[in-house]
Structure formats: C-alpha cells, structure tokens
Structure 1
Amino acid sequence: MEVWRDVVALLPAAEAEFPLVFGEVVDPSVLIMLEVIRKEFYSSLKEFCSSSFIEKAKVIIDYSWEKLNTGTWRDVDKEWRRVYSYGCLFKAVGTCQGETLQDKLQEAIKTCDMGLLMGASIMDNVLQRLIAVLKNKVENPGTVKDSEPPCPKKPKQECIPRPIIHPTLSIPRVRCPSMENFRLEFLEPKVPVILEGIIDHWPAFREHSWSIEYLRAVAGCRTVPVELGSRYTDAEWSQKLLTVNEFIDRYIIGQVPELKEDIRIPDYCCLGEGDEDHITINAWFGPGGTISPLHQDPEQNFLAQVVGRKYIRLYSTEETENLYPHQSELLHNTSQVDVENPDVVQFPNFIKASYQECVLEPGEVLFIPRQHWHYVRSLELSFSVSFWWS
C-alpha cells in the first residue's frame, strides 16, 4: 500500500480540486466519461475497483488515440493530446492500486511515458512526477526477454576513421565569442560556426560520468522512441517504442564509452525571440554509422557533442535547387541525394553545390542557422544534445 499512498498524494485531495477543463473541440461525451472516472476515483478510494477504473481509462485512451492519428500530427488539436494524457494518468493510477508487483510498476511507467510522448502536459506535469515516484519502487530493472532475440546486426566496435576535412571547406571555429560578436558575425548573417569552450562548465564534463550501468539505473525502465535503420529515408527504416534497457540490449552491444549527465542551455539562446519554454531540447544516443540524411529545420540549432564524434556537412539555403529536395509534403525538407555517394546521373547539379564540413568533437557546439541544410554521420557511438530555438 506504500506505492498507492504515494500515488494518491500526487493528486488533488478532493474531486472539486481535480481540473477537467477542455475547449469545444472535445466531444461532450468524452468530458462526461472523464468526469465519471474522476468521480469513481474519489468516491472509492477505500474500496477501489481498479479493473473497472482501468477499462474506463482505456476507453478514453483508445478514443483520443484515434484523434491523434487522424491527419498530420501538426494538425492535431492540443486539447485531444490533453485528453490522451488524462486517460494515461487514470490508467497508470488504476494500475498502481492494490498489490503493486514489479510488472504493474513497469506497466504504469510505460503508460505515463506514452502520455508524455503523445499527450500534452497536464496538472503541473503530473505524469513526470508520477514516474519519479514509481521509479523509486522499481527493483532490478529487467532486460530483454528471452522470447525477444537481439538484433542480428551488431554495431561495429571499431572506431570509424576520421574524414579528412579540406581547409577551404572547414567550418570556422571560435572560442567563447561575446554575445554581440556572435549576433553580428554569425546569427544575423546566418553563418555556421563551431563554438569552443562554451559548454566546458557543464556537469556533463565535470561531475557525473554516465556509464551504461548508470544509464540503466536512471532510465532503464523508461519507454522511448527508437529509430531503427541507418537513415530515415531508407525503405527498411522504422520507429519502435522500447525501454532504454531493451534498446541497449538489442542494439548497443559491447563496450560503451562513458556518457555524461548534466547539460545547460547555451547562453546564446537568449538572443532568440522566445524564453526557455520555447527551446526544444533533444538528446541523441546511438551507434557509429548512424546517418541523418541531408535536411533542413525551421529553427536555429545548437548541436552540442558530449561523447563521440560526428562528421557534419552544411549547405546554405541558396543551394536548395542543387540539393533535389523530395517532392512529397512529408519529406520536402529532406534531400534525395546520398551525400557521400551521390548519383551524379540522376542528380547532376549536386556536385555544383558548395558546402562546409567538420568533425564535431566532444565539448564543441555547432551553430546551424535556420533552414541550413545539414548532413550528419556518427563516427562512433555518441551522445549529442540539440537546442532548437527561434
């Protein structure tokens, strides 16, 4: 019952304090169902029928899931993402009632992760807070089950040779420029640059070594989206939801370099239009040989290298016509060309496009201006962090 008490403590003490407010886009019947689930929870805390409660939560999850997967993701109304999060919250809470076995804890954490991945923040990020409680109760996070064999393609253990960067094509490096110099020399004219020394203060480089054992301990039971395949334009490329433990066991085999824990938002992001809440932070962890095809993003990007090295090639927006973007709406921001092995018959103008390149080393940060085309190939197992800002 200790788990149940901790879970209940995260929620409002009374039904009237539990918010269920949605816009007109949400069907009234859905709101009624949510209110029924809320009432059942607060009226039955002592004699809680978790199976009935969970079934009702699944109805909310299944219905809102259809809304999330109708049309393109950018057209999904945030209100339906919030409904999905509430469904996940109720299901996770119901799963924690009664005798809380390890399997039930893992299921509740996975449900919360799905809400974080597909839903929207609710009740002061209650799903993240619930995960923090449940993680403390998980014992000896498991690995891949025997019935699920590891991936037959083992990543190469040897380090991929460092590409030779021609001096005339090299991206310039600057050490700790002032805010004004960065704005005038690089941000406003949209000039790529590698910034040295600006993340040396990160705890990631000073305090906490991140071994594979540490990664398992802090995140092994968490469910994350994993890209399977060397590049997302390949026919065999796919995405799958796995726990961090499963990802490590199936796809990261052999000795893993130490990773580091803590990061900080680069000060230069303050030159943007939004505040910290508008900065998108993504962590990229994967084996050598992984490729991000030549593509462009709609925001400014600081790509910080923490562990391992990456070869990166940049093309300005002026070269777009020579890069042969896909014609489909889904991949219009991605080139059809295999950058390091181009088909010059099918894409003859590609060789005319001028570019810059670099090998990004640990501790370095690459500034990629908005809509600059960039191609990335990991030279070894690596850990990177990107900051997208306006």
Structure 2
Amino acid sequence: MSCLWDEVLAVLPPRLEDLRLEFSRTVDKSLVFLLRQIVELLYEGQDIVKCLQLSQTIIDFSWEKLNIGTWREVGKEWRRVYSHGCLFKAVCLCKEKTAVREAIETCDMGLLMGATILDNILIRLVKVLQNHKTTMKRPLEDAASHQEPSRKKPSVVPMIQEIRTAMAVPRVRCPSLEHFRAQYLIPQKPVILEGIVDHWPAVRDCKWSVDYIRDIAGCRTVPVELGSRYTDEQWSQTLMTVDEFIEKYILDQEEPNPIGYLAQHQLFEQIPELRQDIDIPDYCCLGAGDEDEITINAWFGPMGTISPLHQDPQHNFLTQVSKGTTSADVANIQQHCKGQFMVVGQKYIRLYSPEQTAKLHPHPTQLLHNTSQVDVENPDLVNFPEFELADFQECTLRPAEVLFIPVKYWHYVRSLDISFSVSFWWT
C-alpha cells in the first residue's frame, strides 16, 4: 500500500506552494484557513487523522451550501470548495488499505456535485485508485464463484414490436453529409442511420456487456433514476455504485422489483474509459454549435423502462449500442437458440412532429411543459380524444443503429430488453 500512497501523492502538485487555494469573498475566510491547514498537514506528512477530520468538516459545511435553494443558484465557488474537501479526504483515506473503495466514492461525489479543480485532479486520482482495485472484490464475489448463480434473470428473446409499414421511420445506410443535410436535417425528418457507428469499439468489439461495465466502472458511484418513467409519482433519484445498480435492477429477478435506470450526462466525463469506446457522429458538424457544446448522455437499464412522450430543445442522435448481457447470458442464448436469428438490445420509439403538439396535450405546468400528459401505448381517449388523430412514425431501434430525432420532435421510448444507449444532443 506504500506504493499506492506514493502514487497518490504524485497526483498532487509537487510543492505545497503550487497548490493554490484562491476563492472569492463568498467563501468564508475560516474555511480557506482550514483548507490551507489541511494542505500543510498533507505535504509535511503530519497527522493524517486530523487531516481527514478537517477534510470532512469542509465537505459537511460546503454540502450545506450546495443544498440551499435550487441547483442553478449554487455558486461555483462552493462547488470548488466541496471538490477540494473530497480531494483531501480521498487522499487521506488512501493511507488505509481498507478505505480505497471509500476514497473512490469520495472522488465520485466531488465529480458529481463539485466543480473541476486542479486540471481534473479527481479524474486522475480515481485512475490511480482503480489500478489497485484488484484488492477490492465485489460483494459476495468469492461466494458466488463457488456456486451456481441464482439471482440472474433468465435470458429471453426480447419482445419484438410490430412496426406498421406506413408509419415506419425510413432507413438509410451511411449517407453522405450532403445527402443527410438535404433530405433529413433541413426538412426536419427523422431517419435511422445504419453503419455509421460500426467502427466504435463499443459496437465493433461488442464491448459493452454487463461484465465489461462492471469491470470498468463497478465501484463507481453514479446517479440512478428509480421508477419506470419520470412522470410517475413514485419516481425518484438516488446515488449508488454501478455494481449495486446492476445487482439490484439488472440481475435481481425478485418480483415485484422497481425499475432503476442509469441516465446521466456526466458519465463519460466521470468515467473516461467508456468515452474512449465511442465517437461523436460526423453529421454533428452540420450543426451551428462547436463540438465541445455537444451533450453526450448515457442510458443504461432493464427491459420495460420508458421515456414518456416528450420533446427536446436540440437535435438528437439516439444510438443503440448493445444489449447489456453477461457472458453467461450469451452462452445461454447460443445454447438454446441455435439456428435462430436474434436481435437484442432493442427500443421501440414513436415520433410525432411539432405540428401535432396540440393533439398531444402537453402538461400545463412549466416544469413538464415539454412532456405529454398522454400514456402513448394506453391512452385515455376520454380525456384526450384528439390524441387518436395525431399522425406519427415508429421504429424498433436495434444495436449499432442511430436514430436522428430533429429538434422539438416529440418522441416516446420503451426498452424491449436490457440495453445501453448513447444520445448526442446538438444544435
């Protein structure tokens, strides 16, 4: 573990005076004093226990500041203070062999709730810690290796949604930029693009299985949405590790089981190893914004998760990457489905043009004004009779396919299987 400690210290600036703690007047001078005291304790190799206590004090105080009012009202300075507290706590924890997992969790909290500091030092620290994660086995991993798995859901052929030919979204394979711009972008028409992400390691090498996700990010803490759709009264959000999410919401076959969905835009910043497996589609260059203005979102969840009918203020390339199978699932599929053509990791999607908005009955509240009140596949035609008259298109999006959803286009999504999707929002 001394080797880990040396590697952790090497992540910090080489000299005490290089670690500058400069904040605006919004941050109490007493907190800045505590931060400087922590830095001195770290660099001079003094009382680590006291250093850890002071770091927790910084975290607790700044956490209160982060939770006053709405998130957009939180000052960036307090997010920077919180990140510094998480950094120093994580470094102190690395003195203890048994606390490495907690150190990673602390870094993740700084990445999720704080602001970027010291040239993304939290990302670099996590990378060092994960190189030592072989000492951190997943819960019950030893026991599971000596018995047959009992909690994995049986592999099943996903339900195929029958698509009506007259309403089907058109498909085109590797169109030129000019063709895509003229035929779909300018007239604002949805289309499924085939073959444009075949070169992604996530697609080409079939990397994104449950096994791979757990290996890369199992011990990382991420936000998880609980509930089949965000309009449900029971819908909520929580933080848990990727391992906990997969165990409880992907592999656990106990019923009834509330649906958990990993959906966030920070995942690829938080876990850059996953970002290396994908690329921004070339067609985004046709937009007015720069590449660094493109928002990349991750969507990972079980069969049955639903995105209610809604619209977004930007264009969207929704990419279905793969089914999140374990190696055991794949072997089971191959054993029982020989000779059959199987498509896995699918999503059913229905689209309505902005011209149909009045028939879709958006919520009257400002918070949900971009979301329809209608349950698309079980509509209440008594209260929403015009919905039946709305024209729509539909498709089943399969692995390695990309759906172009024009800005303000209404779309409803239902997962037909365990799946991992990536969306690119661009203007």
The farther-off stretch of 106-115 and 365-374 is 365-374
Matched letter for residue 17 of structure 1: D
The farther-off stretch of 194-203 and 294-303 is 294-303
Q: Percent identity?
A: 59
Matches within 5 A, 1:169-188: 169-188=167-186
Task: Decide whether the 8 Å contact of 1:224 with 1:242 is kept in 2.
Answer: yes
Q: Verify: 1:124 aligned to 2:161, yes or no.
A: no
**Who is 1:277 aligned against?**
292
Task: Decide whether the 8 Å contact of 1:314 with 1:372 is kept in 2.
Answer: yes
**Who is 1:380 aligned against?**
417
Of 396, 399, 411, 1:362 maps to 399
SS in 1 for 2:63: helix
1:302-327 Cα shifts (integer Å, max 9, x gaps): 11111100001112222223222223
Matches within 5 A, 1:133-152: 133-138=128-133, 139-143=135-139
Equivalent-residue separation in structure 2 for 1:379 and 1:202 (angstroms): 23
**Who is 1:115 aligned against?**
110
SS in 2 for 1:165: coil
**Who is 1:149 aligned against?**
none
Structure-2 change in CA distance of 1:267 and 1:323 (3 Å): same
Matched letter for residue 128 of structure 1: I
Structure-2 change in CA distance of 1:327 and 1:24 (3 Å): farther
Matched letter for residue 54 of structure 2: K
SS in 2 for 1:174: strand
Matched letter for residue 280 of structure 2: I
**Who is 1:34 aligned against?**
35
SS in 1 for 2:363: coil
Equivalent-residue separation in structure 1 for 2:35 and 2:136 (angstroms): 35
1:242-281 Cα shifts (integer Å, max 9, x gaps): 11111121121279xxxx9821111112223333322222
**Who is 1:222 aligned against?**
220
Equivalent-residue separation in structure 1 for 2:152 and 2:359 (angstroms): 36
Task: Decide whether the 8 Å contact of 1:144 with 1:245 is kept in 2.
Answer: no
Equivalent-residue separation in structure 2 for 1:271 and 1:292 (angstroms): 27
Unaligned stretches of 5+ residues in structure 1: 146-152
Equivalent-residue separation in structure 1 for 2:68 and 2:169 (angstroms): 42
- TM score, norm. by length of structure 2: 0.81
Of 378, 394, 410, 1:341 maps to 378
Matches within 5 A, 1:1-390: 1-42=2-43, 44-45=44-45, 47=46, 49-97=47-95, 100-102=96-98, 104-138=99-133, 139-143=135-139, 157-207=155-205, 209-253=207-251, 262-307=277-322, 308-390=345-427
Equivalent-residue separation in structure 2 for 1:347 and 1:381 (angstroms): 32
Structure-2 change in CA distance of 1:137 and 1:30 (3 Å): same
Structure-2 change in CA distance of 1:341 and 1:56 (3 Å): same
Matched letter for residue 318 of structure 1: E
**Who is 2:333 aligned against?**
none
Task: Decide whether the 8 Å contact of 2:346 with 2:415 is kept in 1.
Answer: yes
- TM score, norm. by length of structure 1: 0.88
Shift of 1:18: 1.2
Shift of 1:195: 0.8
**Who is 1:150 aligned against?**
none
SS in 1 for 2:157: coil
Equivalent-residue separation in structure 2 for 1:29 and 1:330 (angstroms): 38
**Who is 1:148 aligned against?**
none
Shift of 1:22: 3.3
Aligned residues: 373
Equivalent-residue separation in structure 2 for 1:29 and 1:348 (angstroms): 62
Structure-2 change in CA distance of 1:267 and 1:383 (3 Å): same
Equivalent-residue separation in structure 2 for 1:374 and 1:27 (angstroms): 47
Structure-2 change in CA distance of 1:234 and 1:50 (3 Å): same
Equivalent-residue separation in structure 1 for 2:292 and 2:370 (angstroms): 25
Shift of 1:364: 0.6
SS in 1 for 2:251: coil
Unaligned stretches of 5+ residues in structure 2: 142-150, 254-273, 323-344
Task: Decide whether the 8 Å contact of 2:42 with 2:48 is kept in 1.
Answer: no
Matched letter for residue 334 of structure 1: T
Equivalent-residue separation in structure 2 for 1:156 and 1:66 (angstroms): 44
The farther-off stretch of 317-326 and 17-26 is 17-26
Shift of 1:226: 1.6
CA RMSD across the alignment: 2.4
